[in-house]
């Protein structure tokens, strides 16, 4: 891509329909003012939460109503900002919405400490008096479970009020990386200028011209070198905030605190890392195949994104990609498939990159809106897979809303990444079964291998990095830019042993926005492992397994993550799903190696 269009140049049909939330900014202002006035209503219940069943129900329902309204206001502001992160007006709206959300959390902060004054038996008695409280049974169980890590109402209010402060490092990083940093323009083999952006960087590293890839790689990471001290300071303070907050809640480590929130045992994290390390030879095999496919003596870091097929792959327009994705979802049932098709027609997706647009992709929206998907579609197979991925998140939200009240609509990332990756795996199966073009099939097989490499191995590498960074902070060691570079370089050398690990790749940690959501990325790796197990079962057993999977999606956060996955037939407390995924990866590598011969 030689230039990035202004947003006004993108056809409306390829933009999301935020007017379905608020027809105008004036309507947003009215909603903002209305919910702002309601936030203080919560304070009238302070000290009375557990007085009787009726009062408890009233305060929980009022809190949910307010949080629903706040979430809509915040989602609109954020998505408008993400359309153009340089727009000062929407930056301001987003900041106001974040302050409002912080105020609402602060106003409600007394509820859970007061709830923890109850015993499970006392809550059961309240349900007998007020049956509507049964809706909150799992929520109350979760609150009581966390009693040892919940502070007094006064401290909880203070921690809630500090939410903006503790999250400031991530905000600084977002503005620096998306709005302020300017990456260079490099010439391609024809002498045409190509602008490097956050969104197209990895796509440019798939170009067949090796010297062009090298210059893109060097130009991109040299720009990060220019801001390395600022980024290191932001990340250091993000890690420090994680550690301090964990200590404030009586956890020994930040990792323990992060995993205890969704009630995922730390052993799951450790099992993932250990199992991946036991199978790192498969990744080395993949790297060696890349070296052979490229016909080079040394595999360099700017070669890693090159497909085994040796070229950029077929152009794939967005409309064709949507057709492939919808067809691939047939095993999940007619209702699931048709809802995806209708959503694509109803402007769920903001498709193309434009000047200032938030990089990457995500599925957003709220309990009271349609789903919204941000993309930066690049007309390639990888972008098609990203679309399938985000639609998995969106449909998870839709099916959850069908069955669950608001309190259980915010499902944990641990299970969310399963929903997205099931769609990817089904897309791979569908394309390999239906597309006859041998070159296209090679690219699909390569995409599967790259998805496992980048999701299972790469995210586990990231998980090791952030675990070690937090450990260093907890032990009082300084997190300087040099220390973080050394840490990342060492991990990269372990994972990609056959490749040349240079100084520039040591800065790669700087470009990973997920590090500002601590202990988040490992869930991509567990997610793809669980998803491949679920897809195997659906393809083997048919509708009965698909029904179990849809039941899992409809549960939202009504149960704890490991219990939810058991509904879909997966035991993530063991290494079996990870081992199965890695075994499949190894088999696919052998298949591709046979094609190369």
Active-site residue numbers? Answer: 390
Quote the CA–CA distance of 45 and 528 in Å, as a whole number.
44
Quote the CA–CA distance of 43 and 545 in Å, as a whole number.
47
Q: Are 207 and 184 in contact (CB under 8 A)?
A: no
> Rg of the chain over CA atoms, in angstroms?
24
Coil vs helix vs strand at 245: helix
Quote the CA–CA distance of 400 and 397 in Å, as a whole number.
5
Quote the CA–CA distance of 349 and 59 in Å, as a whole number.
36
Cβ neighbours for 301, distance < 8 A, ≥ 6 positions apart: 217, 499, 500, 501, 502, 504, 505
Alpha helices per DSSP H over 435-497: 438-452, 458-474, 481-495
Contacts by 398-401, CB closer than 8 A, 24 or more apart: 398/339, 398/343, 398/371, 399/336, 399/550, 399/553, 399/554, 400/553, 400/554, 400/555, 400/556, 401/367
Cβ neighbours for 125, distance < 8 A, ≥ 6 positions apart: none
CA 500 to the chain's CA centroid: 29
Sheet holding 372-374, edge to edge: 349-350, 372-374, 362-364
Structure tokens that stand for 312 in this block = 């950029």
């Amino acid at each position: 891509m030689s230039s990035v269009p202004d947003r006004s140049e993108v056809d409306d049909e390829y933009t999301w329909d935020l007017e379905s939330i608020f027809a105008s900014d004036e309507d947003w202002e009215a909603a903002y003012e209305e919910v702002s006035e309601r936030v203080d209503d919560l304070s009238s219940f302070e000290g009375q939460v557990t007085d009787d069943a009726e009062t408890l129900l009233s305060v929980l329902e009022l809190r949910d109503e307010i949080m629903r309204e706040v979430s809509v206001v915040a989602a609109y502001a954020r998505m408008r900002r993400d359309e153009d992160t340089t727009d000062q007006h929407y930056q301001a709206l987003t900041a106001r919405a974040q302050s409002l959300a912080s105020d609402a959390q602060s106003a409600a902060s007394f509820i859970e400490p007061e709830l923890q004054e109850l015993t499970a038996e006392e809550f059961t008695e309240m349900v007998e008096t007020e049956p509507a409280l049964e809706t909150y049974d799992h929520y109350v169980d979760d609150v009581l479970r966390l009693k040892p890590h919940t502070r007094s109402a006064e401290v909880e209010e203070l921690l809630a009020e500090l939410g903006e402060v503790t999250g400031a490092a991530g905000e600084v990083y977002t503005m620096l990386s998306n709005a302020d940093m300017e990456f260079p323009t490099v010439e391609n083999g024809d002498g045409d200028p190509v602008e490097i952006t956050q969104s197209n960087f990895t796509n440019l590293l798939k170009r067949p011209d090796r010297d062009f890839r090298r210059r893109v790689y060097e130009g991109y990471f040299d720009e990060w070198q220019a801001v390395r001290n600022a980024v290191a300071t932001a990340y250091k303070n993000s890690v420090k905030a994680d550690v301090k907050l964990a200590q404030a809640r009586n956890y020994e480590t930040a990792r323990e605190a992060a995993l205890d929130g969704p009630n995922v045992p730390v052993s799951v994290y450790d099992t993932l890392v250990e199992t991946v390390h036991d199978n790192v030879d498969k990744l080395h095999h993949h790297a060696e195949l890349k070296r052979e496919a490229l016909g080079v003596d040394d595999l360099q870091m700017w070669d890693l994104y090159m497909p085994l097929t040796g070229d950029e792959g077929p152009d794939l327009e967005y409309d064709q990609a949507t057709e492939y994705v919808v067809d691939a979802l047939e095993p999940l049932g007619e209702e699931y498939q048709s809802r995806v098709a209708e959503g694509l027609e109803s402007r769920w997706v903001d498709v193309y990159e434009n000047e200032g647009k938030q990089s990457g992709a995500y599925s957003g929206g709220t309990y009271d809106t349609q789903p919204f998907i941000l993309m930066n579609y690049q007309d390639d197979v990888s972008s098609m897979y990203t679309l399938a991925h985000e639609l998995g998140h969106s449909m998870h939200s839709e099916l959850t809303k069908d069955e669950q009240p608001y309190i259980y609509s915010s499902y944990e990332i641990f299970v969310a990444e399963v929903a997205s990756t099931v769609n990817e795996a089904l897309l791979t199966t569908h394309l390999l079964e239906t597309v006859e073009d041998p070159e296209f099939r090679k690219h699909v097989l390569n995409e599967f291998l790259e998805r496992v490499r980048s999701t299972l191995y790469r995210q586990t590498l990231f998980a090791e990095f952030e675990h070690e960074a937090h450990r260093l902070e907890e032990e009082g060691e300084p997190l300087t830019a040099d220390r973080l570079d050394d840490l990342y370089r060492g991990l990269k050398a372990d994972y990609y042993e056959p490749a040349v690990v240079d100084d520039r790749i040591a800065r790669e940690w700087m470009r990973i926005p997920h590090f500002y959501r601590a202990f988040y990325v490992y869930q991509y790796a567990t997610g793809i492992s669980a998803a491949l197990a679920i897809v195997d079962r659906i393809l083997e057993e048919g509708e009965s397994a698909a029904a179990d999977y849809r039941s899992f999606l409809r549960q939202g956060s009504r149960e704890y993550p490991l219990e939810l996955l058991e509904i879909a037939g997966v035991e993530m407390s063991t290494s079996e799903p990870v081992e199965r995924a890695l075994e499949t990866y190894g088999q696919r590598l052998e298949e591709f190696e046979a094609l190369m011969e």
